[in-house]
Structure 1
Amino acid sequence: MQNTNSFKTYLDDISVKWFKNFIVEKVENFRNGFIEDNEPGFGDFTPDLNVTSYILSKVKTDIETISKYSDIKDFIEKYSLNIKNNDDLKNIGSAAQSELLETIEKNPNNIQEKITELIMKMQINNITKNLNKSLKIIETLLNKLGEDTLLNEIEYEDLEYILQKNLEKTLKKLKEWSAENPKQSEFYKEEMDIVSNDPDFQKRKEASEIIEHYFGNIIGQEIQENEIEELSVENINENSKIIVFNKGIMISEELRGKIELINCIFKNSKEFKKSNV
């Protein structure tokens, strides 16, 4: 990569590679859990394979067409649910419930297909929502350092400061969650110290993967199947176990996404000016 490139072109290249790799992994993990592993979170429900294949094929085709940062934003907008306060699981659940009731009224024989579609929409929405939070890093960098700035005009120390400050916002959220849930946070205490303090972003990346794995594969198992089956929009509140744990899962995914993106940016740190050189 030549240092005569603009900063925007540099970030475009990095963000596209990062996004495509990350979302393909997430979509594939979801597919495996939804179709092949009969993930407990879906209870006894059997997805409609035709609907599943159609939606996943469409998503993968759209991923392949992404070539620049603006394409990523278009993709996220396309696959994000148009729901007020999209971070609120209760709002998402209420919207899904309304859509399902409407389907039952119009075509009661189409329930399996509709439930499959709704589950996939919500899962893909969660994936894109978290990746979008990580991508705020790109927007912050361009706003503060300038789209037309050349790579050899960027001070490494400025870049490092902006990225660290942005990362600290997500770290703060996870630390707050951990303080409120000390029993669970004890299991990733060492990794939490690494992602917070280690100067080596490769080590931070590895630690963030462990934290995300813990949230995605272990903490979720603490929610009993009967708790999911008995869950309804009416009895969801911010203290519900599924809400609390889902919040932690989303934060851990956001953290890993940010750290991986930052690590990608730092891998070419030689392109930037360093005041101590």
Structure 2
Amino acid sequence: NLDIAVTTETIGICYFNKGDYINAIKSFEESLRVKQLCLGLDHVDVATTLNNIGNVHYTLGNSKAAMKSYGRALELKRLLLGPDHLDVATMLNNIGSVYAEERSDEKAMEYYLEALKVRRKKLGDDNLTVATTQFNLGEVYAKTGYLDKALECFRETLRIRSIKLGKYSTEIVRVLDSMARIFLADGELERSLEYFADSYRVTEKHFGSDSMEAALTLENIAIVRIEQGLHDIAMKALEEVLRIKRSRGADASMTTTRMRSIQEFCSNA
């Protein structure tokens, strides 16, 4: 009964959103079995369920299983919907993410670029899903040392998300951090500090100054200060990070190591 397949899939989505991935995949696999019986193997609804199964495997880190489900879903959606359909772009983006996790960076770029082409064609340049693919592509460029291309992607992501979500949306924090890390790697310390500071302002606004999110950004700022040779300022920031981490019961070993390094450096100076 096809209605049972639809209900089972909805239950699977609820399990997935709750983080119960074992029951999610059981529900999706049962839905797939019924859909294939009712609709046949080559149906767009079958492809949708395959994508959901792929999402669970990807979340669990099962790259090979995710790729198998995503690959079959892409094959079906291209066949049934055409190569320029937005569902095809979603599958291309998902497969790109699997390749990125596997560090198959050239393949990840290939799929992200194809997804970006379709999304831009269908949605224009100022769409949030376009921004998502831009960000994903930028992350791969950054990993492979194409820093100029990475910055170009991140700037475009930042522009779109700022327009659509506002300058103080949490969705721009990862973009600001990624840009700051590129400037740090490139030795542009003032620019790195500028972007980490912007990230801290957004994080503090949404999560509070005593949040782990604020602590992580503050630690990034301290790293830049260390590179600048401003050890007193870095130490003050790290003391605040240490206080927050301890109050949250979080691992503070990396923070204390950095603090000891500063102390040793200053005592030997």
Using the size of structure 1 for normalisation, the TM-score is: 0.28
Q: Which of the pair is proportionally richer in helix?
A: 2
Q: Rg bigger for which structure?
A: 2
* Larger RCO (alpha carbons 8 Å, 6+ apart): 1
Compute the TM-score of the two structures, normalised by the length of structure 2.
0.29
